[in-house]
Amino acid sequence: MRMVLYSLGIVSQSFVGHLGDRDLAAFSIAYTVIDGLNFGFMFGMSSALETLCGQAYGAKHYSMMGVHLQRSWLVLLAFATLLAPTYIFSGKLLAAAGQSAELARAAGLASAYLVPLVFMYALLLPVVTFLQCQLKSWVTAAAAAAVFPVHVAATWLLVQRAGLGVLGAAMALNLSWAVYAGLQLAYALGGGCPDTWTGFSAAAFAFKDVKEFVKLSASSGVMVCLENWYYRILIFLTGYMKDAEIAVDALSICMSLAGLEMMIHLGFLAGTGVRVANELGAANGKGARFAMFVSTTTSFLISLFISILTLGFHDKLAMIYTTSEAVINAVDHISVLLAFTIILNGVQPVLSGVAIGSGWQALVAYVNIGSYYLIGVPFGVLLGWGFRYGVYGIWIGMIGGTTIQTLILACITMRCDWDEEALKASNRMEQWSNTK
C-alpha cells in the first residue's frame, strides 16, 4: 500500500518533468514540500487512532472503534480547515522565503489546486487505520492496487491529452485520492465491518472525550512531523552550499532512494503499532514484547540486505535519475551515508510503531526535539560549515541525531515493563468504555 501511494507522486512528477524544468520545480514544491508537510502532520494525528482502535480491538471493545473513528474524523477535519490556507497562500509564503517570483507564483497556483487533498487525508487516514487495526490491511492494499492504474490514466489524460500541465497533474492527484478514500469508506461503512461500525453515534462528540482525543492526536502529529521535517531541513540547508545545484541534485536522489526503501519499514511501523496495541488491549504484555522483537529483527535484516546492495552498486545508483557525471560522482561519494541511513531506517520506524501502539507519542515528541533539533541539526551545521565537510558533514550530523534518537527509543523499549503497559491499556479502555 505504502509503495503504491508513494509512487503516485513519482508518476505525477514523471509526467510533469517532461513539460519543462520550471513546471517540474513548481509541482515538486507544491506536492513534495507544501502538501508533504501537511500530509505528515495529518498522518501523525491519525496515529492516535492506531493506539486507541488497536487497543480497543485487542480488548474486544469493538463498538468503541467506530466511536473513535468518528472522533478522529471530527478532529482531523477541523485541523484540515486550519491547514488549507497554507496551500492557498503558499505562493506568497514562497516569495517571502526568497523563491523567484515566477516559480513562487507557479508553485502557489499548483498548491491551490491541491487543497482538496488535505480534506481527503482527514477522511482517508482514519479509515485506513480503522481497517488495519482490525486486521483488514488487505482492503487498503487492494484499494491501492485499484487506484494506481486510475492515477496513471487520469494523469496522462489531463496532463498530455487535455494539455492542462501542472494543474492537470494536481487534478489527477485529487481524483486518485478521492477514489482511494471512496473505496475504503464504502467497505467500512457499507457493511464490511459489522462489529466495529454500527453507525454514527452522539457519543463521539462528547466534549471531554474529544478534548482528550485532541491531546493524543496533537502529540502524535508533533511526533511524526518532527521526524518528517528533519531530512527536509537537510535538503534545505544544502541549498546554501557551494555548488549547490549538484549538491541538491545528489542529495535529492539519495533521499528519493531512501524514501522508497523507507516505505517497507513504514509498513512495519503500521503493522507493529497495530500488533502491539492489540496485545496490550488484550492484557498480553509478553505478546506485545514478542511482537516488538520479531518486527524489529525482521525489519533490520531487510534493511541490512538493502544497504549491502547499495554499497555494491554505489557508483551506479544515480544512473536511474541522471546521465550527469558530476551528479553520479557526487552520489557515489555519499553512498556510504545512504547505506548507513538505510540501516537506521530498518530500526527507527519500528520503534516508533511500538511507541504508537503503546501510546508514548508525547514522550517520543520530546525525544525527537532533543535528538534531531538540539543535536543533529547543530552538529550537521558545525561539520558542514565549521569544518568545511560540505553536504557530507551535514548528513553525518543528521545521521548522528537519528542514531541518538534510535538508541534512546531502544533503551525505553527494552527497559519497558510490558505487564504494566498492558494494565495501563486496560485502564484506558475501561475509561473510554465508561464514557460511551
DSSP labels, 214-282: HHHHHHHHHHHHHHHHHHHHHHHHHTTSTTHHHHHHHHHHHHHHHHHHHHHHHHHHHHHHHHHHHHHHT
Q: Which residues of 340-371 are buried (b: 16+ CB within 10 A; e: fewer)?
A: bbbbbbbbbbbbbbbbbbbbbbebbbebbeeb
Q: What is the pLDDT of residues 221-273, one digit of tens each?
A: 777 777 777 776 776 676 566 665 577 667 777 877 888 898 899 889 888 99
Q: What angle do CA 377, 381, 382 make, to 5 degrees?
A: 115
359: left (phi over 0), alpha (psi -120 to 50) or beta: left
- Mean pLDDT on 381-409: 88
**pLDDT greater at residue 435 or residue 192:** 192
Rounded Cα–Cα distance for residues 436 and 427 (Å): 15
Instruction: Give me the pLDDT at residue 279, please.
Output: 92
| Closest-CA residue to 59 (of 130, 128, 133, 127) | 133
> What is the residue whose three cell numbers read 491541491?
114
Instruction: Give me the pLDDT at residue 432, please.
Output: 61
Rounded Cα–Cα distance for residues 248 and 29 (Å): 14
Contacts (Cβ under 8 Å, ≥6 apart) of 338: 254, 257, 258, 310, 317, 331
Q: At residue 436, does pLDDT exceed 60?
A: no
Q: What is the pLDDT of residues 13-50, one digit of tens each?
A: 888 877 876 787 788 778 877 888 888 888 878 888 88
**Grid cell in block for residue 266:** 513504514
Rounded Cα–Cα distance for residues 48 and 12 (Å): 30
Q: Identify the three-state secondary structure at position 324.
A: coil
- Mean pLDDT on 355-384: 89
